[in-house]
A and B are shown apart, each in its own frame.
Chain A
């Protein structure tokens, strides 16, 4: 597949947006300027960016507790995201959801999810609606290696295959379920082995290579869109920061050497080197993208900090919808 410069630059932009947003969120959390838990996506940018670049604005995604990257990749607005992380009324969820429930239904982003695997059946339901309406939309499920051990995942994967729904399962295998390595919780190395059990095709891609992710995702999305049912994509990737926050409790559950090895394959560095080599984006131009995005993040932080906190009365709002029709 020959990708156009526009697609390459678009994916680069999505990755850089995720990186800067997450770095800033991590810093704010370390300075105790964000309430609650924060699960950072740094290191895994190529997965969300590569997959979402294969989607239209109408396609849906469901996300995980590590969901900021997915929302940014789907086109999320920095200001409303940052305001939500700060619990402000201008946030995506009016300060009711926070990091773990951030969403933008207008962008087809059906929500981060505080329950591991909880979003998988929901994305399959969106896929069902797409098939029901025959509108050509595709629904993508992002989930981790850890979620592949929970019942909801297995039920939903089987159902998507049994009903031949337009769904793409994207496993972000970052080798750790919270603080426990994969080899202590699974007897298989490749999560994609499970796809065969549901009767769906599956492939493994280098999750640090955005082009590889994108090509595999585009193929799976095409299959789904053309009525050929669900597919499974396993992206081998790595979390550069801790399960939550940057350092959190400082638990030693993985070695510095292992982290350093993975960081040598930083997905943004790898991609920028490739873009520079092929003349699509010079180092100087890449730097300009970083600067521009960093400025947008700073602007979003200022917006969020200046935004009002929710009125306490809003506690009682939106538990239920009003009368139907």
Chain B
């Protein structure tokens, strides 16, 4: 797109989310949102600030602390024709609501022979790095990606934060929109107009030729730092931001892997059983002959997220760990 002077305005990730929601609610009277503290209080991270004042209690709904009923509220409203956004405050709390998410929302259309349409968006906040400990810090996208019927997006920057939200709300499927808590203050260019970032399309955020780094969410920023570090050593990283983790843009990944011959998958989630395993498997199925080394994976260790900043720093992948992982894959 052409960046005009007007569009070159910067906005924080959280504010971009808020603006996207406001604009689509102005555009479509069937859109409302509901969740814990999202109405009068504006959301625990301020993501919903000001919307209740504009749209009132029926479109900016404060709910009880009842994750199953919150998601169910969205399902019932979606299947009867509205376009709800329901917020599960922390991604960890999705476990409380998993029946409604996995057994109901994801499957209704299929179980009903295609009859049901569920334009439902579930927003949530994931990620460690705030000393929020084991029940307020997880990245659980792998669990959601395993369930046919859901789409899952994880924006890494303000532009995508707004555009992916709009795409999710306009999509006629249950989508899970995962913010990263540590990105909320990240600033970047965000057009003032309403726009979509298409679901299921990855973004090459740094072209390169030596190794493909596949990542999403907050690890995109860390991977870019790692790429800069390695550039000084003559390693030219291509960084792919998946943006959507279900459906997976595997073509973008394999195309890049064929070009570079090396691939490292980076995610903040626990490494074991994470998306890196799926991506590594698909890449070896489709591009085995092009690979110079086994697919590398950088992720969190197999422990709950710890509280103490010292322990948490050891837990969360960062630019140094990614650099190390890339070096290992390249045999450096």
Contacts and interface: CB of A to CB of B under 8 A. Distances in A.
Nearest to A315: B110
Contact of B149 (A95, A97, A115, A320): A320
Contacts of A322: 172
B73 interface: yes
A144 interface: no
Interface string B67-84: 111111111111111101
Interface residues on B, range: 35 or more
A298 B245 CA distance: 49
A81 B77 CA distance: 25
B68 A121 contact: yes
Contacts of A320: 109, 149, 151, 173
Given A110-B76, A318-B110, A321-B109, A115 B103 contact: yes
B75 A103 contact: no
Given A121-B72, A322-B172, A132 B77 contact: yes
Interface string A104-118: 010000110111001
Given A93-B115, A96-B110, A325 B170 contact: yes
B68 A152 contact: yes
B71 A121 contact: yes
Contacts of A158: 64, 66, 69
Contacts of B79: 105, 110, 122, 125-126
B64 A126 contact: no
Contacts of A293: none
Contact of A156 (B61, B68, B84, B148): B68
Contact of A115 (B76, B104, B115): B104
A321 B76 contact: no
B124 to A, nearest CB: 17
Contact of B69 (A60, A126, A156): A156
A151 interface: yes
Interface in B78-100: 78-82, 84, 99-100
Interface-centre pick from B70, B114, B117, B149 (highest chain A CB count, 10 A): B114
Interface in B181-200: none
A255 to B, nearest CB: 34
A111 B172 contact: no
A96 B81 CA distance: 22
Contacts of B151: 320
A155 B66 contact: yes
A73 to B, nearest CB: 19
A37 to B, nearest CB: 14
Contacts of B149: 319-320
Interface of B: 32, 34, 58, 61, 63-64, 66-82, 84, 99-100, 103-104, 108-119, 148-149, 151, 170-173
Interface of A: 60, 62, 91-97, 101, 103, 105, 110-111, 113-115, 118, 120-133, 139, 151-152, 155-156, 158-159, 162-163, 317-325
23 contacts: A62-B76, A92-B113, A96-B114, A97-B111, A111-B111, A120-B72, A122-B100, A125-B72, A125-B78, A126-B80, A128-B77, A129-B77, A151-B68, A152-B69, A155-B67, A155-B68, A156-B68, A156-B69, A159-B70, A159-B73, A320-B149, A320-B151, A320-B173
Given A97-B112, A129-B81, A319-B110, 8 more contacts: A93-B115, A111-B108, A120-B72, A121-B76, A122-B100, A125-B76, A129-B80, A318-B114
